[in-house]
Amino acid sequence: MAGLAASGSNPDVELLYDINGLAKDAPPWFDRVMEYVGEYGLLFAMIALILWCWMTVRRKGGEDAPASVAALVWAPLAAAVAVLVNVPIRGFVERPRPFLDHQGLEVLVSGKTDYSFVSDHATITMAMGVGLFVANRKFGLVGLLLGLLEGFCRVYMGVHYPTDVIGGFALGTAVTLLLSPVASALLTPLMKAIGRSRRGAWLIRSRKAGYDGQGAFVPGARKESAGSEERDLAA
């Protein structure tokens, strides 16, 4: 694959220069922003999005809350599994970083000495984005957009070929979806048990959603609370 990357007629290389060329034309401050966003920012944003979705699930409650929380727990776990799967893939392909084989690239992050295919950042963000989509469609769409933006940033920064990113998207998606049934079968009963416990029930449902503080789920609590608030407003 390294030989293919060295070819000037390779569309992968041409797209690399086209996207990375934007970094050359951009002002220095914008490149610094893209460096932080591509290296750390989008990963933090994805984690924050998962936590936001979790809080939304807690407030909503309902009998499907344990399954939804289980899916959210699986999202970062899927990313970790995908990265582990990528270790032998990188060792087998042994594709050098693009700046080692191609001159004139604007490299925004120095010190990258490991192999290029596939991109860990693209793998992680897409795995979490797909996992989030399984748990919640609305939040998941935002997560998928963050994953796509992460892939763009890695090429913009000059540290990955476009096919490194596409490979990361494919790996993260495959691991998340293929192992999702097994993860759900293992994690959902665990989340249900936590939801029935006295100390851990708050992780699954808030009190307004029907958690009574003693580890018990009260299905009508949310409706009664809403009705009480309406009566108070009416008064």
Q: What residues of the chain score a pLDDT lower than 50? A: 1-8, 212-215, 220-235
The residue ranges of every structural domain in the chain are 2-200
Rounded to an integer, what distance in angstroms lies between the CA atom of residue 60 and that of residue 150? Answer: 30
Strand partners, 211: 217
User: What's the token pair of residue 96?
Assistant: 């050098």
pLDDT of 58 reads 87
What global pTM score does this model have?
0.82
pLDDT of 158 reads 93
Q: What is the pLDDT of residues 67-126, one digit of tens each?
A: 999 999 999 999 999 999 999 999 999 999 999 888 889 999 888 888 999 999 999 999
CATH architecture of the domain 2-200 equals: Up-down Bundle (1.20)
Cα-Cα-Cα-Cα dihedral sign, residues 181, 184, 189, 192: negative
Q: What is the dihedral of CA 136, 142, 147, 152, to 10 degrees?
A: 160
For residue 188, give the nearest of 55, 82, 72 by alpha carbon. 72
Rounded to an integer, what distance in angstroms lies between the CA atom of residue 69 and that of residue 64? Answer: 9
The gap from C-alpha 57 to its chain's centroid, in whole angstroms, comes to: 18
Rounded to an integer, what distance in angstroms lies between the CA atom of residue 44 and that of residue 146? Answer: 11
- Which one-letter DSSP state was computed for residue 104? S
